[in-house]
Amino acid sequence: MTTAATALDAVLAQVDAGLDQSLDRLKALLRIKSISTDPAFAAECQRAADWLVADLEGLGFTAAARPTPGHPVVVAHGPQTPGTHVLFYGHYDVQPVDPIELWHSDPFEPVIKDGADGRTIIVGRGTSDDKGQLMTFIEACRAWKAATGALPVRISMMLEGEEESGGKNLPPFMRDNAAELQADIALVCDTDMWDRQTPSITTMLRGLVGEEITISCANKDLHSGMFGNAARNPNQVLAEIIASLRAPDGSVTLPGFYDDVAEVPDAVKKQWQGLGFDQAAFLGEAGLAIPAGEQNRSVLEMVWSRPTCEINGMIGGYTGDGFKTVIPAKASAKISFRLVSGMDPVKIRAAFRQHVQERIPADCSVSFKEHGGSPAITVPSDGLHLRKALTALSDEWNKEAVITGSGGSIPVAGDFKKILGLDTLLIGFAHVDDAIHSPNEKYDLESFHRGIRAWVRVLAAFAE
Amino acid sequence: MTTAATALDAVLAQVDAGLDQSLDRLKALLRIKSISTDPAFAAECQRAADWLVADLEGLGFTAAARPTPGHPVVVAHGPQTPGTHVLFYGHYDVQPVDPIELWHSDPFEPVIKDGADGRTIIVGRGTSDDKGQLMTFIEACRAWKAATGALPVRISMMLEGEEESGGKNLPPFMRDNAAELQADIALVCDTDMWDRQTPSITTMLRGLVGEEITISCANKDLHSGMFGNAARNPNQVLAEIIASLRAPDGSVTLPGFYDDVAEVPDAVKKQWQGLGFDQAAFLGEAGLAIPAGEQNRSVLEMVWSRPTCEINGMIGGYTGDGFKTVIPAKASAKISFRLVSGMDPVKIRAAFRQHVQERIPADCSVSFKEHGGSPAITVPSDGLHLRKALTALSDEWNKEAVITGSGGSIPVAGDFKKILGLDTLLIGFAHVDDAIHSPNEKYDLESFHRGIRAWVRVLAAFAE
């Protein structure tokens, strides 16, 4: 056995003994309102980056909040030891908190409380996505340092501040610093476990095309009594466009949308069937019962291997209390497409924009705003690091870790491959009921605690 | 000639001489933020009512702000002289001011400035709808009082505070006080002139059904990456419902919607053709060129004699800056129908609700909120008072006054007939470009000045 493996028990004991202090540090980071999409919180994003820099410097890393045209990227390097070199990725920015009235406590004053099914949970914006997850890795490093005086492998980190707002500044940053960011493998902690008992590594991620459209008709708001029928109503135009995006059978109607979409191989489908996914329970957790997507597709296919079109937001006219008989001048919507392997974000965006343009009346207009675009990626589902990580996760949960797909998009995994030539292991400890992007986001205390222990084991395995 | 007719020139001179003071009083009323639809402004509505009571008491009226379950109704009675007894109606409440960022000046700090085409305008919320208009009548009374020491006819007033918010408390108030509110004729000042040079009396008004629907799908906001395709998106459901309300030919699709809609008689259509309405100019004023309503109908038909369905507001999901990949739990819309003569508001509301219900997926739900309902009315287009008023208006503008329809809804005119048995004369001095319900609402100084003079003449004619 190597030194790292010998030390493992001591490091795990250190994690257990220091859990309260780990939680205190997590809470300090959670209190910083680093909402990246809202310019009003730019200083808070800088503060989160600075907090991480200071924390990592305390662990012996050389760290800095590196400027970008947007929010800074935290880059940190541990000592240049021989052997495996990992590049860890997480993001310190969080989603907005609205609708704020649905939160049971201040989103930025984290509370630890009893959750469902006897669980203990940490409630607050970013607990699960992604501050709680990224801190599992940092706390694992701290435990190694405290118990053995050193990190078991060479570690670099890249902690982003724009994951929740398009992240368009990260790829150029990676290109500009490609030499500095070289490593043997990238680690990303921003995904779910398969279920509460089963750890997993995600190897299939969808891409994303985000679009915002604004439809302009009259040159000012009009009185609907004076102009109704005669004046074009942008709410109506927008609704007709949105309605036209999905066919009655649940499929997306954009021409060519499915042209580059491959069927999942039978072998993979068979493996998925073996997962025992309970689609009634999955929808039931959200209070729903009827899958909304393509008929004759399983829910797992819908969320892992089929592309989507979702209306993330829409607004037009008077939406306050009471009533106002107005025909608004404008109406707008935020629309996202999740892409699967083979689909080209550029092509899908163009098809969407053409579809919309064709539906704008001649005396009205539309403007488009891009909110991120990334292709789907498939991580190789074999390799030494993957096998070592699966074993480490299985050891921690005493249950065999599984390889899964994911409905979400983590564009950085594609960029690691494309820009740095790195394979990525997507290892995360979140749960589907964590309510990320929603009010009362939470992270299980067990996710945090076992997450730290799992990283301790993964690093030990990589040191062997 | 009667005393009233003899005094006319003196009273008109009094109006001209006192115009600056009249404007000062109007500005004082405009500064009160009496937004009736927003409960936050309830005290301001009371303040507007109290201001009117004090002003009318100063003119010798017995006046009081009479309580209702909502905002007060100002009722005032002048001396009980013999002869014609008129009941004047106006409303002191105003529309909300959003989008506030589009106003060029504070909506509640009225400014007098140069407008288009060499006009002088008063800018502020309520200048045209309806504080400026109702003050034309009060200032006419004041001029009569100042110049002759008395009002020329017996005058009562009923000034409402909920016209912009459904007005559901007024009909019961009228029923409860029917004896007190008796008169020979009702006068309403809340309508437009035909054009800048041509005064008009409106004899055809559409009714209104206001509805707010909220569609609920999941029990919380969901991550669109995790749940997209699988979970029903209420934005999509709402958009499909809205899209389903209008056919490609511009007609409204509710079953039975046009069943009770009569064609305008050929004679009336012929009269309308004689008005020389310029539909390109009407739409062009709003920056539009293509009529959006039923094909093969003129714009005048669309806005005067055909029922509408307009989406006054809709909202769902994330609508702030940036992007949020959410599937919201709810989405909602405010929808209004303008009704023409013969249509039953109860029947239309029921048809709408059934149409919506039929389109709600089995695991989702919808709630409905009523925002007012009134049938269309047609005022008799003959009669002594109408003829006298037309002559008075023609004298003031030195151009023959016309009889017109209107796209708007003034439910009180129907209630005057139904509850009090009174015919109504709808006489107003607003213009189509006044931007009522919109940012930078204005009233022409000429509308205000000539409006006061016109009422002076109408009252003189009624005294004969």
What is the C-alpha to C-alpha distance for residues A241 and B242, in angstroms, rounded to an integer?
11
**Residue B251: closest C-alpha in chain A:** A229
Q: Which residue has the tokens 């990190």?
A: A151
Look at B229 and A317 and tell me if their CB atoms are within 8 Å.
no
Q: Where are the beta strands (DSSP E) in A346-456?
A: 365-374, 377-378, 402-406, 424-427, 442-444
For helices A3-17 and A131-148, give the axis angle rounded to 10 degrees: 120
Give the mean model confidence (pLDDT) for residues A57-73.
97
Domain B3-204+376-463 has CATH 3.40.50.620: no
What is the C-alpha to C-alpha distance for residues B385 and B387, in angstroms, rounded to an integer?
5
- Over residues B297-338, the pLDDT tens digits come to 999 999 988 999 999 999 999 998 778 889 999 999 999 999
User: At B267, which helix (H) or strand (E)?
Assistant: helix B266-274
pLDDT of residue B426: 94
Looking at domain A207-261+307-374, which CATH architecture does it have? 2-Layer Sandwich (3.30)
| In contact, A140 and A450? CB cutoff 8 Å | no
A220 near B CB under 8 A: yes
ipTM value greater than 0.95: no
pLDDT of residue B236: 98
Which residues on B lie below 8 Å from A212 (Cβ)?
323
Q: Give the best residue of A98, A224, A249, A374 to mutate against chain B (max B CB count within 10 A).
A: A224
Give pairs for B363-366: CB < 8 Å, separation 24+: B363/A283, B363/A287, B363/A288, B363/A289, B363/A290, B363/B217, B363/B232, B364/A288, B364/B215, B364/B216, B364/B217, B364/B232, B364/B234, B364/B237, B365/B215, B365/B216, B366/B213, B366/B214, B366/B215, B366/B216
Q: Name every residue whose Cβ is closer than 8 Å to that of residue B27 and which is 6 or more positions away in sequence.
A: B110, B122
pLDDT of residue A41: 97
Look at A290 and B334 and tell me if their CB atoms are within 8 Å.
no
pLDDT over 50 (residue A464):
yes
pLDDT of residue B205: 82
B315 near A CB under 8 A: yes
B42 near A CB under 8 A: no
User: At B365, which helix (H) or strand (E)?
Assistant: strand B365-374
| Domain spans in chain B, listed from the N-terminal domain onward | 3-204+376-463, 207-261+307-374
Q: Label residue A361 exposed, middle or buried (CB < 10 Å: 0-12, 13-18, 19+).
A: middle
Name the residue facing B321 among A38, A229, A244 (closest C-beta). Answer: A38
Look at B328 and A336 and tell me if their CB atoms are within 8 Å.
no
Q: Which of A67-76, A92-101, A369-378, B102-111 is least confident?
A: A369-378
Q: How many CB pairs (< 8 A) connect A and B?
A: 368
Give the mean model confidence (pLDDT) for residues B129-141.
98
pLDDT over 90 (residue A137):
yes
Mean of all residue pLDDT scores within chain A: 93
Give the mean model confidence (pLDDT) for residues B34-51.
97
In the structure, what pLDDT confidence band is assigned to residue B267 with cuts at 50, 70 and 90? confident
CB count in 10 Å sphere of residue B128: 29
Look at B437 and A244 and tell me if their CB atoms are within 8 Å.
no
**Residue A289: closest C-alpha in chain B:** B363
Q: Label residue A119 exposed, middle or buried (CB < 10 Å: 0-12, 13-18, 19+).
A: middle
What is the C-alpha to C-alpha distance for residues B267 and B290, in angstroms, rounded to an integer?
27
pLDDT of residue A49: 98
- Over residues A336-359, the pLDDT tens digits come to 999 998 899 999 999 999 999 999
Domain A3-205+377-463 has CATH 3.40.630.10: yes
pLDDT of residue B381: 64
CB count in 10 Å sphere of residue B346: 10
B39 near A CB under 8 A: yes
pLDDT over 60 (residue A157):
yes
What is the C-alpha to C-alpha distance for residues A232 and B210, in angstroms, rounded to an integer?
19
- Tell me which amino acid residue A413 is: A
Mean of all residue pLDDT scores within chain B: 93
A229 near B CB under 8 A: yes
| In contact, A328 and A236? CB cutoff 8 Å | no
| In contact, B191 and B406? CB cutoff 8 Å | yes
pLDDT of residue A251: 97
What is the C-alpha to C-alpha distance for residues B429 and A327, in angstroms, rounded to an integer?
22
DSSP letter for B252, please.
B
Q: Do B3-204+376-463 and B207-261+307-374 share a fold?
A: no
Q: Which of A48-52, A224-228, A306-310, A453-457 is least confident?
A: A224-228
- Over residues A377-436, the pLDDT tens digits come to 877 766 899 999 999 999 999 998 988 877 677 888 888 988 999 999 999 999 988 989
Look at A227 and B326 and tell me if their CB atoms are within 8 Å.
no
pLDDT of residue B168: 87
pLDDT of residue B3: 65
What is the C-alpha to C-alpha distance for residues B119 and B317, in angstroms, rounded to an integer?
44
pLDDT of residue B265: 81
B319 near A CB under 8 A: yes
Look at A38 and B322 and tell me if their CB atoms are within 8 Å.
yes
Name the residue facing B324 among A95, A226, A324 (closest C-beta). Answer: A95
Per-residue burial over A338-356, b = 16 or more CB atoms within 10 Å of its CB, e = otherwise: bbbbebbbebbbebbeebb
Q: Give the best residue of A227, A332, A432 to mutate against chain B (max B CB count within 10 A).
A: A227
pLDDT of residue A1: 45
| In contact, B80 and B154? CB cutoff 8 Å | yes
Q: Label residue A266 exposed, middle or buried (CB < 10 Å: 0-12, 13-18, 19+).
A: exposed
Q: Give the best residue of A102, A229, A431 to mutate against chain B (max B CB count within 10 A).
A: A229
Chain B segment 347-406 residues within 8 A of A by beta carbon are 361-364, 371-372, 406
Q: Cα A175 to the chain's mean position, in Å?
A: 22
pLDDT of residue A381: 64
| In contact, A429 and A130? CB cutoff 8 Å | no
| In contact, A157 and A371? CB cutoff 8 Å | no
Which residues on B lie below 8 Å from A368 (Cβ)?
none
Q: Which of A345-354, B281-290, B348-357, B432-441 is least confident?
A: B432-441
pLDDT over 70 (residue A2):
no
**Residue B364: closest C-alpha in chain A:** A288
pLDDT over 60 (residue A71):
yes
Share of chain B above pLDDT 90, in %: 78
- Over residues B405-459, the pLDDT tens digits come to 776 778 888 889 889 999 999 999 999 889 898 899 999 999 999 999 999 999 9
B171 near A CB under 8 A: no
pLDDT of residue A341: 84
pLDDT of residue B368: 98
pLDDT of residue B1: 45
pLDDT of residue B407: 66
CA of A95 vs chain B CAs: smallest distance (Å): 7
Q: Name every residue whose Cβ is closer than 8 Å to that of residue B317 and which is 6 or more positions away in sequence.
A: A311, A312, A313, A314, A334, B235, B324, B326, B327, B328, B331
- Over residues A13-33, the pLDDT tens digits come to 999 999 999 999 999 999 999
pLDDT over 90 (residue A99):
no
- Tell me which amino acid residue A102 is: L
